[in-house]
Chain A
Amino acid sequence: MLLSMAAIGVLLVEDDVKFRRAFAARIEAAPDMTLLAAVGTVAAGLAELENRTPNVLLVDLDLPDRRGTELIRYCAAKCPTVDVMVVTVFGDEKNVIESIESGATGYLLKDSGPEHFVEQIRLLHAGGSPISPSIARQLLARFRGAPRVPDAESDRLEASSVSSVPALSEREHSVLTLVTKGFTFPEIAELLDVSQHTVMTYVKRIYRKLRVSSKTEAVYEARKMGILRD
């Protein structure tokens, strides 16, 4: 799984001291990772982001000063290369979708075992994003109205800045459908006759589209309410 030999720089924002210590210990124990900083507030996280650009940002959503999503949004806008990962207890649909819409591309369960924990970070950094069946189902519902686009075009969509509500490609749609049916990434890769890495790319791309789509919706809502002018 380790594709890059350079150490993965991780910034950790977690207010619970016990968790923060436990996570910090796991990251420092990993030979391919460097803990850049471990802070407990959004403000401190923002300050850290001013000074350095991590490879991976781990954020808890429930932070004492502000919502973790604000930090995610800032990071996604300021340093789009950073992989943002939300640390959550249950990985429930509401929190995860909110995080992805803010710009996160993965989430991490707090009760993951130490091995699993760093493995997830590596996976994310390597381009893979976890996705649960119920979240996949929500995403399918979210994109239902939009027309399907060819896969080639979907690549282009990703490259350019998209102003309209993005649509899923056939492949992306297939991946989501298979996820809702409980198939794992390796199984999906086999069923679709692509590599597992490709499947993970699809998922990450779907996450980005969700973010774009939520942005577009936000702009549309703002225009409707007269907050934004054309």
Chain B
Amino acid sequence: MRRARWGYCAIETVTRSRSKGGWLGAPVALAIALLAAGCAPRTPDVQRVTTAEVYFEPIDAGDVRRPAIAMPQASGWQRVTLPYAESRRDVLGVPGTAASQHVRLWVRLPPQIAPTEALQPLAVHYSAYMGPIVAANVYLDGERVGGIDPDVSSNWNRPTMFLLPPQATRVGHPVQVVLAFNCVVGALPCGAPSVHVGPQREIERLYEWQRLLRIDGPRIGSIAMLMLGGFALLFWFGRRREVVYPLFALASLIWALRTLHYHLAFYPGSYDWFWWMTVNSMSWLMVVVYVFAFRLHDERHRYIERGLLALAVGWSIASMPGLGLNGWTPGYLTHVVQTAIGIAVTVLISISSLRSGSREHLLLAVGLWICIGLGIHDMLLQGWYIGFERAFLMPYGAMFLFAAFLYAIVRRYAAAIAEVEHVNASLEQRLTQRQAELAVSYEKLRLIERQQAETAERQRLMREMHDGLGSSLMSTLVMVEQGSFAQADVAQALRECVDDLKLTIDSLEPIGDDLLTLLATLRYRVGSRLEAAGIKLEWRVTDLPPLPWLNPTSSLHVLRILQESLTNIVKHADAKTIRIETAADNDSVVVRVTDDGRGFDVACMPGGATGQGGGRGLLNLRRRSAQIGGQIDITSSARGTVVELRLPRQQADDLEIDKNV
């Protein structure tokens, strides 16, 4: 009894749109025509029956689902135009019907003659929102030949087709087709739609088209949206902070639930709960649309949100089956509530779109206004104010709304990607910039280091010239000018200058960290001179570990220490043999210079008072070896002298061996 009140959208059928037009159906009809992709039926042989005779028969409530046992008597039929609607008052005005809430409306079509060329059975079809019709049956020449299944829940929305038995449709033989609708007389009038009669194949095409429009279209739409919602939900799992994706999923789910009553043949679960859900879901959807629209721009109007939610949830609870507010009256109130919510949401989003210029809000507002328009259409259809042969259009209006949803989501997604790309690009740019800066600063640093190295080397050479070669040459020059030097002495002095210069050159040779090669260089220089002095050199070297700290400066120190030792031996020791040995242990390497000369008293030569002049002496040796982190030990006896230079294998970093050569 209640079911007819819930579906509340309508459109006129395509077959009637031509005659009636439609003040708001035109764009929608166009959209649906596009949707149906040229399926509009061409039915040359189909006859639309618009005149008939009707008869009202009061029936018992218990018979409302059953077909008539017999056709009514011949008198009392009245001639009408189809579609035909009789108000409740008029129905009740029919004699004998006053006491009954249930009537059977008999509709006798004019005699039908199958076209001569028709070699296929005749069929009958009508599509209309029949309101509280419980059952419909078709009779051929007074005999029942078919009826709709009264148990199919969504019969209220289904197009109907009856096939007439083939033997009854002989060519040229007129047949009498009678339809009988069992009605519940309530707020709605009682009526009969126009009927199409024609060859089965043509009628089937008509029927399929109506079925697509009324049943399959809404079903396909809701499934498609449900899948998009599922996709949004999956996307949300990856980006939990984006609340608009689950909102979209929720909206699609609510819409899928809402659409069930259009196409489901059998409603699941409790009948009352199913309709409770179907009706209230519209309010839920509107609340979700509202929240979605404003979260989209990270806006939040708490009080409006809460108010809408409270209204929707409150009414949903109040209208639960078994809570008293059940029945027809709250049913209408439910419509009032959801209409109020829907209009409020639409107006709020429209205002926002006008204020902020948000394209998403604009599209949502347009979708909502379309829905409201179609909703009005459906409500009028539901009340039979605009006839009852149109289809309900709300499912198509929702498609506009969801298109706006999708647009918003895709735009947001694209914006997010664009932002990521932008961030990446700017990161890359900053990286490049940073690299360039680093390269520049590295280059500067390198330049500074090189300059420092050059400066250090220049200073070293300057010191070298000043303290070493320069002062030696200068003192020699002074002595030569004073005439106090014998020629041999001058030669000797100059030779020492050259020797010192050679040491410096040798210290610059690329010997790496190899102390042994450095010693070898020294021997290569002085070997022949020792030989000339009649001194035998015993070369007892062993392989030495590399000394990483050995650079030109420290090499020169080593060379000078050893050369000075050798010079001392040649000058003072009167030795026959010099033995040069090397050794290494875990921490240090040792170079030992042993002679068999006459030796001296080490204790008598403290500090720099070596008595040998020219800054040469033990103190000098000690100072030099200290500068390279080494240690020098001199032991001397009548049988000879041992000079032992002990050098560390690793240098402490803070030892500044570059200075004070």
Question: What residue in chain A is nearest B521 (Cβ atoms)?
Answer: A133
A93 surroundings in chain B (CB, below 8 A): 509-510
Q: Mark A114-156, 1 if CB is under 8 A from B, else 0.
A: 0010000000000000001110011000000000000000000
B498 surroundings in chain A (CB, below 8 A): 111
Q: What separation, in Å, do the CA atoms of A183 and B506 have in the docked complex?
A: 17
Asked whether any CB of chain A lies closer than 8 Å to the CB of B452, the reply is no
Q: What separation, in Å, do the CA atoms of A111 and B501 have in the docked complex?
A: 12
Least Cβ distance of A106 to chain B in Å?
14
A179 surroundings in chain B (CB, below 8 A): 520
A-B contact pairs, 11 of them (CB 8 A): A111-B495, A133-B520, A133-B521, A134-B509, A137-B510, A137-B512, A138-B510, A180-B517, A182-B521, A182-B539, A183-B539
Interface residues of B, count at CB 8 A: 25
B522 surroundings in chain A (CB, below 8 A): 182
Asked whether any CB of chain A lies closer than 8 Å to the CB of B608, the reply is no
Least Cβ distance of B542 to chain A in Å?
9
Asked whether any CB of chain A lies closer than 8 Å to the CB of B348, the reply is no
Asked whether any CB of chain A lies closer than 8 Å to the CB of B140, the reply is no
Least Cβ distance of B491 to chain A in Å?
11
Q: Mark A169-191, 1 if CB is under 8 A from B, else 0.
A: 00000000001111110010000
Contact residues, A79-114 vs B (CB, 8 A): 90, 92-93, 111
A134 surroundings in chain B (CB, below 8 A): 506, 509-511, 517, 521
The 3 closest A-B pairs by CB, nearest first: A182-B520, A133-B520, A134-B509
Q: What separation, in Å, do the CA atoms of A183 and B512 have in the docked complex?
A: 19
Least Cβ distance of B584 to chain A in Å?
14
**Assuming A133-B523, A137-B514, A184-B539, what are 11 further A-B pairs, CB within 8 angstroms?**
A90-B505, A92-B508, A133-B524, A134-B510, A137-B512, A180-B516, A181-B543, A182-B517, A182-B520, A182-B523, A184-B523
Least Cβ distance of B159 to chain A in Å?
87
Q: What separation, in Å, do the CA atoms of A90 and B539 have in the docked complex?
A: 24
A180 surroundings in chain B (CB, below 8 A): 514, 516-517, 520
Asked whether any CB of chain A lies closer than 8 Å to the CB of B541, the reply is yes
Question: What residue in chain A is nearest B498 (Cβ atoms)?
Answer: A111
Question: What residue in chain B is nearest A116 (Cβ atoms)?
Answer: B528
Where the two chains meet, the residues of B that have a C-beta atom closer than 8 Å to any C-beta of A are 495, 498, 501-502, 505-506, 508-512, 514, 516-517, 519-524, 527-528, 539, 541, 543
Least Cβ distance of B82 to chain A in Å?
100
Q: What separation, in Å, do the CA atoms of A116 and B529 have in the docked complex?
A: 11
Q: Is the CB of B524 within 8 A of A137?
A: no
Least Cβ distance of B501 to chain A in Å?
8
Q: What separation, in Å, do the CA atoms of A187 and B528 have in the docked complex?
A: 14
Q: What separation, in Å, do the CA atoms of A183 and B580 have in the docked complex?
A: 12
Least Cβ distance of A86 to chain B in Å?
16
Contact residues, A177-230 vs B (CB, 8 A): 179-184, 187
Q: How many A-B pairs with Cβ below 8 Å?
A: 57
Q: Mark A45-66, 1 if CB is under 8 A from B, else 0.
A: 0000000000000000000000
Least Cβ distance of B125 to chain A in Å?
91
Least Cβ distance of A188 to chain B in Å?
11
Q: Is the CB of B541 within 8 A of A181?
A: yes
Q: What separation, in Å, do the CA atoms of A116 and B495 have in the docked complex?
A: 15
Q: Is the CB of A92 within 8 A of B505?
A: yes
Where the two chains meet, the residues of A that have a C-beta atom closer than 8 Å to any C-beta of B are 90, 92-93, 111, 116, 132-134, 137-138, 179-184, 187
Question: What residue in chain A is nearest B542 (Cβ atoms)?
Answer: A181
Q: Is the CB of A181 within 8 A of B517?
A: yes
Question: What residue in chain B is nearest A90 (Cβ atoms)?
Answer: B505
Which one of B508, B509, B514, B521 has the greatest number of beta carbons of chain A within 10 Å? B509
Which one of A90, A111, A181 has the greatest number of beta carbons of chain B within 10 Å? A181
Q: What separation, in Å, do the CA atoms of A132 and B518 have in the docked complex?
A: 11
Q: What separation, in Å, do the CA atoms of A83 and B521 have in the docked complex?
A: 25
In-complex Cβ contact of A92 among B509, B516, B517, B520 (8 A): B509
B510 surroundings in chain A (CB, below 8 A): 93, 134, 137-138
Q: Is the CB of B519 within 8 A of A182?
A: yes
Question: What residue in chain B is nearest A109 (Cβ atoms)?
Answer: B502
Q: What separation, in Å, do the CA atoms of A179 and B521 have in the docked complex?
A: 9
Q: What separation, in Å, do the CA atoms of A134 and B517 have in the docked complex?
A: 7
With A92-B505, A134-B506, A138-B510 given, is the CB distance from A181 to B516 under 8 Å? yes
B520 surroundings in chain A (CB, below 8 A): 133, 179-183
Least Cβ distance of B61 to chain A in Å?
109
Q: What separation, in Å, do the CA atoms of A210 and B551 have in the docked complex?
A: 27
Q: What separation, in Å, do the CA atoms of A196 and B263 have in the docked complex?
A: 114
Q: Is the CB of B528 within 8 A of A137?
A: no
Which one of B495, B511, B512, B541 has the greatest number of beta carbons of chain A within 10 Å? B511
Least Cβ distance of A16 to chain B in Å?
16
Q: Is the CB of A132 within 8 A of B505?
A: no
Question: What residue in chain B is nearest A179 (Cβ atoms)?
Answer: B520
Q: What separation, in Å, do the CA atoms of A227 and B220 have in the docked complex?
A: 78
With A93-B509, A93-B510, A111-B498 given, is the CB distance from A184 to B527 under 8 Å? yes
B521 surroundings in chain A (CB, below 8 A): 132-134, 182
Least Cβ distance of B633 to chain A in Å?
22
Q: What separation, in Å, do the CA atoms of A93 and B517 have in the docked complex?
A: 13
Least Cβ distance of A161 to chain B in Å?
31
Question: What residue in chain B is nearest A112 (Cβ atoms)?
Answer: B528
Q: What separation, in Å, do the CA atoms of A168 and B329 have in the docked complex?
A: 113
Q: Is the CB of A137 within 8 A of B505?
A: no
Question: What residue in chain B is nearest A92 (Cβ atoms)?
Answer: B505
Question: What residue in chain A is nearest B502 (Cβ atoms)?
Answer: A90
Question: What residue in chain B is nearest A138 (Cβ atoms)?
Answer: B510
Q: What separation, in Å, do the CA atoms of A134 and B501 have in the docked complex?
A: 17
With A92-B509, A116-B528, A134-B506 given, is the CB distance from A187 to B517 under 8 Å? no
Least Cβ distance of A34 to chain B in Å?
26
Q: What separation, in Å, do the CA atoms of A92 and B511 have in the docked complex?
A: 12
Q: Is the CB of A182 within 8 A of B502?
A: no
B517 surroundings in chain A (CB, below 8 A): 133-134, 137, 180-182
A181 surroundings in chain B (CB, below 8 A): 516-517, 520, 541, 543
Q: What separation, in Å, do the CA atoms of A119 and B524 have in the docked complex?
A: 16
Question: What residue in chain A is nearest B505 (Cβ atoms)?
Answer: A90
Least Cβ distance of A129 to chain B in Å?
14
Q: What separation, in Å, do the CA atoms of A116 and B532 have in the docked complex?
A: 11
A116 surroundings in chain B (CB, below 8 A): 528
Least Cβ distance of B320 to chain A in Å?
91
Q: What separation, in Å, do the CA atoms of A45 and B495 have in the docked complex?
A: 31
Q: What separation, in Å, do the CA atoms of A187 and B523 have in the docked complex?
A: 13
Least Cβ distance of A164 to chain B in Å?
26
Q: What separation, in Å, do the CA atoms of A134 and B508 have in the docked complex?
A: 10
B495 surroundings in chain A (CB, below 8 A): 111
Least Cβ distance of A210 to chain B in Å?
16
Q: What separation, in Å, do the CA atoms of A113 and B520 have in the docked complex?
A: 21
Least Cβ distance of A14 to chain B in Å?
18
A184 surroundings in chain B (CB, below 8 A): 523, 527, 539
